[in-house]
């Protein structure tokens, strides 16, 4: 375990139990998942039982207990995206990447997720890779977009 | 930026700011809202920077990225002030022409302005575009005027005037009284009178109170809160300052979902600016009032939009709702009195106090005052954000502002209120939209999502979609919601797979009855709305699925059949490459065939084919 890396995150907080979710968010962003050993330290420092951390980590969809891919690919399945073929988009991406929703590609490049709504409904179907939005993504646009991230 | 120490200092700063700004100063405002950002508004802004530099316009014409300009369908939007020329569908390639023609030459580029589809008339100025004509923006008013990252811009249009007014000329009771008289009701969906909520919190016995802004906009199809958080963050902070003063809170939280990274960034910046400037912190503007704000990020759970679940999440627990009463105003965050309002509600507050409650209450209907922002999306021509007085009819919103249904398809339904809302059929298009009228027809106002559907949408599939969404998002704490959704989901799968029976419909109605009366929170209680409204108004579609085993709108996968027309197929093999199960085969440059045994009816071939050779029935 890289104690210094974790310390860099924990030192930003006052160590209150209410800091739990922000701390986990920082670890998730920094490590791309929530490593077990780090969580044990968090439990001690914030004085929160490990069981509560486990409950929080498994309740909220942004947390993952296994390492995620380099890029987070989120396909919107909000109402408008659903009506405009969002599910077809998911199917196409999943088939191209050879990876189901909720999983990471074998080469570790992408983690594929669906989300409730990304809030760009006028441009449905929408998807997001990391912090970048892609508008009106028809199936034929998929290979070109994926290529931008593939090594 | 200086720290403002007193009221006089603020007056002086604002005076200097106004004097330094020429109202005739040409400004290019590129829309960076939720609709234009994915279309590449950053590239358009960059192209303006280059083209303006080439023409030596740096310093003469200002370039700003602003919040949502409303008409998302025609993004990327650009407004040029002071003339208010509204350009649309702007790409980086169009920019040199705009710079040359408009900024240098003073002429309009005709091909980039809105043309009325009926008459063909060009609408060069924002005010002439029908989409904006019927609107009365209060919350959205500043979005296409200011750079959301500039506090000076907010101050220049009168920002933080209301803070000063309440701190130095009003008692907390007077503030509450004005909000009560304005008739403002919660814009997050509940519609609880805001002033009454504030009064309850103020009256609660406690030395410590909290206020919260609910920015966990989870309803699919609604993005007005995102647009306001990203486009006018200081309005939310100012509204919360007024609320905190009124109820006597020293600490506030803004809860934003993590799917909105830009909203988090902008709010964070705005809070820092407000703190540096002296609008947040101890003894604000040397008054006795102290207040500060924290951002709390959601972690991807729809149920956290429910107020008690949201507070549990801020406290560091999983987002499970708790029974009410006690209401948050009595015992909320950490068990202390808490006022929780949503983004749009807070953003209304400064204007209400500034213009007076009578001004606000003059808009709207008897029990729903003021304006409401709707995200008008789906099968309309002009998708985007609209803000209209309560009581505007659906026909006005969809027809006049929305420009009618796309591609000449017939209207089928409008879905309001997100997963807790219902589908409203054509017979109610003249319904004046307010809290009560929507409820009467089996839907709700919700946060303001308005999704228009034409005959290509299957209403059984829409209800199945919402039930599937809520099933995944139900926290699982109470039985009626957890088990009820599971059973409803099962029944929908049966019906949309051609295994439905007429008795299922009765069973669904019974489940709805149990869930609406016995669920713990709004999620389960209102989850029945999509089911009930579609069963009531679109029963014939259910019957077609059950009796004829057909989906009239050609949406429900298991009931479809895909074939390839041998006469049109060119044998380009695009569909073969796309098919995830290898069900399509044939010789190159000759007609292909789909193996019906293997086909999973995903429709990827249908969407991929450039020659319309794939047929769906």
Q: CA of B462 to nearest chain A CA: how many angstroms apart?
A: 8
pLDDT (average), residues B314-336: 94
pLDDT (average), residues B256-269: 95
**What mean pLDDT value characterizes chain B?**
95
- Structurally, at CATH architecture level, domain B459-548 sits in Up-down Bundle (1.20)
Structural domain spans, chain B? 7-134, 157-362, 371-454, 459-548, 560-616
pLDDT at A142 over 80: yes
* Domain A3-59 indexed as CATH 1.10.8: no
pLDDT of residue B233: 98
Q: Per the CB < 8 Å rule, is B378 touching A83?
A: yes
Could you give the CA distance from residue B262 to residue B42 in angstroms, rounded to a whole number? Answer: 13
- Is B371-454's fold the same as B560-616's? no
The top-level CATH class assigned to B7-134 is alpha beta
pLDDT of residue B190: 84
Put simply, whether A140 touches B (Cβ < 8 Å) is yes
H helices of B356-478, where? 357-361, 394-395, 435-440, 459-473
pLDDT (average), residues B464-486: 95
Structural domain spans, chain A? 3-59, 71-147
pLDDT at B531 over 80: yes
H helices of chain A, where? 3-10, 20-31, 36-46, 50-59, 79-83, 86-97, 142-147
Put simply, whether A48 touches B (Cβ < 8 Å) is yes
Which of B37, B38, B231, B262 should be substituted to probe chain A, the one whose Cβ sees the most A Cβ atoms within 10 Å?
Answer: B38
Per-residue pLDDT tens over the stretch B420-453? 999 999 999 999 999 999 999 999 999 899 999 9
pLDDT (average), residues B177-182: 98
Element (H, E) at B489: helix B479-496
Per-residue pLDDT tens over the stretch B124-139? 999 999 999 989 999 9
Q: What is the CATH number of domain B371-454?
A: 3.10.20.600
Using a CB-CB cut-off of 8 Å, the residues of chain A touching B89 are none
Per-residue pLDDT tens over the stretch B263-278? 999 999 999 999 999 9
Backbone angles phi, psi at B373, to 5 degrees: -90, 130
Fold for B560-616, please state it.
Answer: Alpha-Beta Plaits (3.30.70)
Q: Per the CB < 8 Å rule, is B221 touching A118?
A: no
Q: Per the CB < 8 Å rule, is A121 touching B301?
A: no
pLDDT (average), residues B212-225: 94
The residue with greater pLDDT, B255 or B446, is B255
In eight-state DSSP terms, residue B75 is P
In eight-state DSSP terms, residue B2 is P
Share of chain B above pLDDT 90, in %: 93
Could you give the CA distance from residue A105 to residue B526 in angstroms, rounded to a whole number? Answer: 38
pLDDT of residue B203: 96
In eight-state DSSP terms, residue B281 is B
Q: Per the CB < 8 Å rule, is A79 touching B465?
A: yes
Could you give the CA distance from residue B463 to residue B379 in angstroms, rounded to a whole number? Answer: 17
Question: CATH number of the domain at B157-362, out of 3.40.190.10, 1.10.10.60, 3.40.50.11540, 3.40.630.30?
Answer: 3.40.50.11540
Q: Are B143 and B231 spatial neighbours (Cβ–Cβ below 8 Å)?
A: yes
Q: CA of B499 to nearest chain A CA: how many angstroms apart?
A: 22
Put simply, whether A95 touches B (Cβ < 8 Å) is yes
pLDDT of residue B488: 98
pLDDT at B590 over 80: yes
Q: Per the CB < 8 Å rule, is B258 touching A115?
A: no
pLDDT at B1 over 80: no
Return the exposure string of B168-190: e unless at least 16 CB atoms fall within 10 Å of the residue's CB, then b: eebebeebbbbbbbbbbbbbbbb
pLDDT (average), residues B460-475: 95
For residue B5, what pLDDT band results from cuts at 50, 70 and 90? confident
Fold for A71-147, please state it.
Answer: Glutaredoxin (3.40.30)
Which of 589-608 (B) contact A at CB < 8 A? 602-604, 607-608
pLDDT at B163 over 80: yes
């Amino acid at each position: 375990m890289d104690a210094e890396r974790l310390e860099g995150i924990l030192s930003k907080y006052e160590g209150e139990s209410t800091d739990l979710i922000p701390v986990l968010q920082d670890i998730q962003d920094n490590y791309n998942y929530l490593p077990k050993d780090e969580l044990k330290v968090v439990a001690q420092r914030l004085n929160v039982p490990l069981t509560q951390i486990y409950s929080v980590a498994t309740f909220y969809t942004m947390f993952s207990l296994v390492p995620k891919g380099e890029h987070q690919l989120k396909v919107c399945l909000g109402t408008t995206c659903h009506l405009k073929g969002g599910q077809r988009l998911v199917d196409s991406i999943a088939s191209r990447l050879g990876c189901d929703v909720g999983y990471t590609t074998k080469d570790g490049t992408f983690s594929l997720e669906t989300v409730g709504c990304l809030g760009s409904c006028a441009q449905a179907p929408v998807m997001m890779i990391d912090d970048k939005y892609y508008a009106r993504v028809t199936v034929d646009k998929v290979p070109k977009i994926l290529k931008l991230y593939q090594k | 930026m200086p720290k403002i120490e007193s009221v006089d200092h603020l007056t002086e700063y604002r005076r200097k700011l106004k004097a330094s700004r020429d109202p005739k100063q040409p400004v290019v405002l590129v829309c960076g809202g939720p609709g234009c950002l994915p279309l590449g508004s950053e590239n358009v802004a960059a192209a303006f920077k280059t083209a303006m530099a080439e023409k030596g316009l740096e310093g003469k014409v200002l370039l700003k990225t602003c919040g949502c300009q409303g008409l998302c369908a025609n993004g990327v939007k650009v407004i040029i002030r002071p003339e208010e020329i509204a350009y649309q569908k702007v790409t980086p390639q169009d920019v040199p022409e705009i710079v040359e023609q408009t900024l240098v030459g003073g002429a309009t580029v005709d091909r980039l302005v809105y043309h009325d589809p009926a008459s063909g008339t060009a609408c060069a100025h924002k005010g002439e575009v029908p989409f904006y004509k019927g609107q009365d923006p209060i919350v959205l008013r500043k979005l296409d005027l200011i750079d959301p990252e500039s506090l000076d811009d907010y101050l220049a249009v009168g920002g933080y005037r209301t803070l000063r007014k309440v701190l130095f000329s009003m008692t907390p009771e007077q503030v509450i009284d004005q909000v009560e008289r304005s008739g403002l009701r919660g814009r997050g969906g509940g519609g609880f009178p805001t002033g009454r909520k504030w009064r309850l919190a103020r009256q609660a016995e406690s030395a410590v109170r909290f206020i919260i802004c609910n920015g966990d906009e989870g309803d699919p199809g609604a993005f007005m809160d995102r647009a306001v958080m990203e486009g006018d963050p200081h309005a939310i902070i100012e509204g919360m300052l007024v609320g905190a003063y009124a109820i006597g809170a020293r600490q506030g939280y803004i809860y934003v979902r993590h799917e909105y990274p830009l909203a988090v960034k902008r709010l964070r910046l705005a809070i820092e600016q407000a703190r540096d400037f002296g609008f947040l912190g101890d003894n604000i503007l040397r008054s006795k009032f102290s207040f500060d704000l924290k951002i709390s990020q959601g972690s991807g759970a729809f149920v956290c939009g429910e107020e008690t679940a949201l507070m549990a999440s801020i406290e560091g627990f999983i987002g499970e709702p708790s029974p009410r009463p006690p209401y948050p105003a009595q015992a909320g965050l950490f068990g202390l009195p808490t006022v929780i309002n949503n983004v749009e509600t807070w953003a209304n507050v400064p204007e209400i106090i500034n213009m007076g409650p009578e001004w606000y209450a003059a808009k709207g209907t008897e029990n729903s005052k003021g304006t409401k922002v709707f995200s008008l999306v789906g099968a309309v021509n002009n998708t985007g954000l609209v803000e209209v007085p309560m009581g505007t009819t659906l026909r006005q919103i969809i027809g006049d502002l929305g420009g009618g249904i796309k591609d000449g398809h017939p209207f089928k339904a409008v879905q309001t209120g997100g997963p807790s809302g219902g589908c409203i059929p054509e017979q109610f298009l003249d319904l004046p939209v307010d809290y009560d009228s929507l409820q009467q027809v089996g839907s709700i106002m919700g946060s303001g999502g308005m999704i228009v559907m034409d005959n290509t949408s299957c209403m059984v599939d829409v209800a199945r979609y919402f039930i599937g969404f809520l099933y995944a998002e139900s926290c699982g704490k109470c039985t009626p919601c957890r088990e009820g959704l599971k059973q409803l989901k099962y029944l929908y799968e049966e019906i949309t797979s051609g295994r439905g029976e007429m008795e299922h419909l009765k069973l669904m109605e019974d489940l709805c009855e149990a869930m609406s009366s016995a669920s713990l929170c709004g999620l389960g209680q209102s989850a029945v709305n999509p089911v009930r409204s579609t069963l009531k108004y679109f029963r014939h579609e259910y019957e077609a699925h059950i009796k004829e085993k057909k989906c009239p709108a050609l949406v429900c996968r298991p009931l479809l059949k895909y074939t390839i027309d041998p006469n049109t197929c060119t044998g380009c093999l695009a569909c073969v490459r796309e098919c995830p199960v290898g069900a399509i085969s044939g010789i190159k440059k000759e007609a292909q065939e789909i193996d019906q045994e293997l086909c999973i009816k995903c429709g990827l071939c249908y969407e991929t084919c450039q020659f319309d050779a794939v047929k769906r029935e």
